[in-house]
Amino acid sequence: MRTEQLQTPALLVERAALQHNLQTMAAALPGPRLRPHVKAHKTTSLARLQYAIGHHGFTCATIREVEGLAAAGLGADLMLANEVLDARRLGVVVESGARVTLAVDSDITVDAAAAGGVREVVIDVNIGLPRCGCEPDDAGRLADYARTKGLEVRGVMGYEGHVMLVDEPAEKSRQTEECMTRLLKASADVGGDLVSAGGTGNYAINTWANEIQAGSYLLMDTTYGPQGLPFQQALTVLARVISVNKGGWRVADLGLKSLGMDHGNPHIPGGVVWFCSDEHTTFSAEEGHDFAVGDLVRAHPAHVDPTVALHERIYVVDGEEVMDVYDVDLRGW
């Protein structure tokens, strides 16, 4: 099959770029130094590639991701890095033989973990991003409370997400160290082996955490593109030009229902995107480029995670040749 035979919009992953990204990250963070975040691709076939290159533990964002990875035989060490108030489905996964560690940041989430049949937790610490996480000074108390409930506390995790897109290297390093100082203080109070943090944006400079939860590196998007990272844009959304107007604009058959838009418009090589609507992207041609009805374009999404979650399958391509088809089988909750 060739790309022109695909129904558009279609999610494409360039095989050579995918392999480059896998190998580049494995060289930088081998084995357990990386706990890949599967929320970025939601695809067990891609998780198998990460496992095969040496990354045997995974970070998950949803119960569905935990269940799917365990069912695929990838359940050696799964961390749900998100608070859950009903952990019964996770308890079923634990009973099946998979190892599941659940993030907790309050007495209530500890109680939910214990009631649901989870046996291991990690203390989620607020290290600067206004999202989940207990205060660093409360982490030790919370760990002790979890132990009274019969839970093993594996360590701490935090996410310095507000640091990922800081442009100036010295400032990014300074802010990362500031966040990790908070997390290491909590770690000293909590105990356990894990200090889990970081992401694609600072994977190379966060040397304080002993495992990094990067996910976007595998497929990449235009938000991370300007960061000067050594990863290639593997993910594109294939679309067709379906209308050309004499006023100078073109319309492609992709829009809000096929693109994650929270980080802005997609990039169309040779074009300037005006706006996106439900099923359409309106754009003009840059000087020296032209687009006719029926032409194929490959749009680069601004945010990989929600883009992938909108599609049922990924087509792995080598240029215009479709080499493989992967189900995006970890969507949902």
DSSP string covering 284-323: EEPTT----TT-EEEEB-S-HHHHHTT-SEEEEEETTEEE
One CATH from 3.40.50.10490, 3.20.20.70, 3.20.20.10, 3.30.420.40 for 16-217: 3.20.20.10
Banded model confidence at residue 201, pLDDT cuts 50, 70, 90: very high
C-alpha 194/C-alpha 181 separation (Å) is 15
pLDDT of residue 256: 97
Q: Give the distance, in angstroms, between the CA of residue 276 and the centroid of all CA atoms in the same chain.
A: 23
Which CATH code is given to the segment(s) 3-11+231-327? 2.40.37.20
Give the domain ranges of the chain.
3-11+231-327, 16-217
Percent of the chain whose predicted confidence (pLDDT) is above 90? 100
Per residue in 74-110, pLDDT (tens digit) is: 999 999 999 999 999 999 999 999 999 999 999 999 9
